[in-house]
Structure 1
Amino acid sequence: MKVGLFIPCYVDQFYPGAAIATLQLLEKLGVDVSYPKNQTCCGQPMANSGFAHLTGGCDKLFTESFRHFDYIVAPSGSCVLHIKEHLHSTENADDAASIRNKIYELSSFLTDILQVESLPARFPFKVGVHQSCHGQRGLYLSQMSELVAPGFSKPGKLLNMVEGIDIVQLNRPDECCGFGGTFCVAEEAVSVKMGKDRVEDHLSHGAEYITGVDMSCLMHMEGILRRQGSKVKVIHLAEILNSYQ
């Protein structure tokens, strides 16, 4: 298979380590990965702010950049969900429709498409797992705790393959961190309070790291951790799966 690597703009600018780990991990698993150099923002910030009609340029560029791949993989649940639900193109409608069906968040690609059963990874630390809202409720990467249904977690399944990792149990395993994209700007007080509550759940259970599939959520919690003077770090799922410490 030929896979196109989509790196969201905030990952590219602020957390390149997550992007590099994603590439290296896919290559270790034998995947033929290409990075279209003309790619840029998927358009989610504009759409979330009520300006979806201004994302035409983003949609056009994304479609042209990724239409020739068998799959598209990204280390971001929220950006993937945006593409799956909103990508459109008046010039290349069929290509846009095809992309919406073949773009995957990293953990779902590893579990559903590659069907990974083991990983040569080691990370001997106590880790709290943040279930981001878009990943959980939009992409169904893990079960929602309010449902009376068998539990599952695609990121959790992969993390359990990592040698030495100690995954801490949270009181509220799928509570929102309060980031919400432009929500954290428009409703900063509410966003910060939600973030503090989310961070405290991890801290109270002794987490040394907080991980997840969305660096945007982790970035929000990282800011709170830094302001509190905490030594707890945030780390993308790909960086743990690609690690051997």
Structure 2
Amino acid sequence: MKVGLFIPCYINALYPRVASASYELLVRLGCDVEYPLDQTCCGQPMANAGFEQDARPLAERMNALFARYDYVVAPSASCVVFVREGYPRLLEHREGHACVDSRIWEICEFIHDVVRPERLDARFPHRVSLHNSCHGVRRMGLSSPSELNVPYHSKLRDLLGMVDGIEVREPVRRDECCGFGGMFSVEENAVSCAMGRDKVRDHLSTGAEYITGADASCLMHMQGVIDHEKLPAKTIHIVEILNSHS
């Protein structure tokens, strides 16, 4: 399978180690991976700010850049959801295999549902608290929403269960929003920070050393709370754990 790795702009700028871990993990799992060097933002920030049509040139660029790959994989649920749901509105005269919105996957979703490994050669001897991001839960099905009367499942937890030495916990309010929400954190920063503090406290109640999840934006928001209040925890993206040998 030919995989094109899409790295969202904020991960490229702030968390390049997540990008490297994503590439290394997919290669270790047997994927033929390429990272197109000319990629840029998918357009989500403009759309979230109410200027979706301004994202059209970026959608056209991304659609062309990733046209030759069987799968497009990204370590960000929110960006993947925007491409899947926003690009059909933005792109016109699309045909068959060239439609990137039909071939893009969040990396944990891709590993869990497509690659389906029986084991991972990874070790992370720490207690972690699992963070479920809103896009991942309610737009992508990475876990089951707590408001639905259905048996609980979590693709992230399934993957973490393949890591040697790890102890996985989940907070009491396991899929409550951390308060980031993209533009929400800018326009309603006081509410956003209050939600972030509540969420971090909920995670710390598990006794975890690390908070992990699949969206670097949520982890960045919570790390800001941790740093500001000097709390005894760290955040780490799930791909760094799945790719870990420590």
Residue matched to 2:61: 61
The number of residues matched between the two structures is: 245
Where in structure 2 are the equivalents of 1:10-25 lying within 5 Å?
Answer: 10-25=10-25
1:149-174 Cα shifts (integer Å, max 9, x gaps): 11111111000111111112311010
Q: TM-score, normalised by structure 2?
A: 0.96
Secondary structure of the structure 1 residue equivalent to 2:83: helix
2:79 aligned partner, one-letter code: C
Structure 2 residue ranges without an equivalent (≥5)? none
Aligned mates of 2:28, 2:93 — CA distance in 1: 33
Aligned mates of 1:6, 1:244 — CA distance in 2: 24
1:179 aligned partner, one-letter code: F
Where in structure 2 are the equivalents of 1:81-230 lying within 5 Å?
Answer: 81-88=81-88, 90=91, 93-94=94-95, 98-230=99-231
Aligned mates of 1:169, 1:56 — CA distance in 2: 39
Residue 97 of structure 1: how far off its partner (Å): 6.9
Report runs of 4+ in structure 1 exceeding 6 Å deviation. Answer: none
Q: Which moved more, 1:164-173 or 1:77-86?
A: 164-173
CA RMSD in angstroms comes to 1.3
Residues 76 and 214, structure 1, Cα contact 8 Å, conserved in 2? yes
Aligned mates of 1:54, 1:239 — CA distance in 2: 33
Residue matched to 2:233: 232
Go from structure 1 to structure 2 and tell me whether the alpha carbon gap of 1:206 and 1:183 turns closer, same or farther (over 3 Å shift).
same
Residue 98 of structure 1: how far off its partner (Å): 2.6
Residue 53 of structure 1: how far off its partner (Å): 1.2
Residues 56 and 91, structure 2, Cα contact 8 Å, conserved in 1? no
Residues 128 and 167, structure 1, Cα contact 8 Å, conserved in 2? yes
Go from structure 1 to structure 2 and tell me whether the alpha carbon gap of 1:2 and 1:188 turns closer, same or farther (over 3 Å shift).
same
Go from structure 1 to structure 2 and tell me whether the alpha carbon gap of 1:95 and 1:183 turns closer, same or farther (over 3 Å shift).
farther
Q: Which moved more, 1:144-153 or 1:27-36?
A: 144-153
Structure 1 residue ranges without an equivalent (≥5)? none
